[in-house]
A and B are shown apart, each in its own frame.
Chain A
Amino acid sequence: GAGVSQSPSNKVTEKGKDVELRCDPISGHTALYWYRQSLGQGLEFLIYFQGNSAPDKSGLPSDRFSAERTGGSVSTLTIQRTQQEDSAVYLCASSLARTSGTDTQYFGPGTRLTVL
Chain B
Amino acid sequence: DAKTTQPPSMDCAEGRAANLPCNHSTISGNEYVYWYRQIHSQGPQYIIHGLKNNETNEMASLIITEDRKSSTLILPHATLRDTAVYYCILPFYGQNFVFGPGTRLSVLP
Please indicate whether A and B come from the same complex rather than being unrelated chains: no
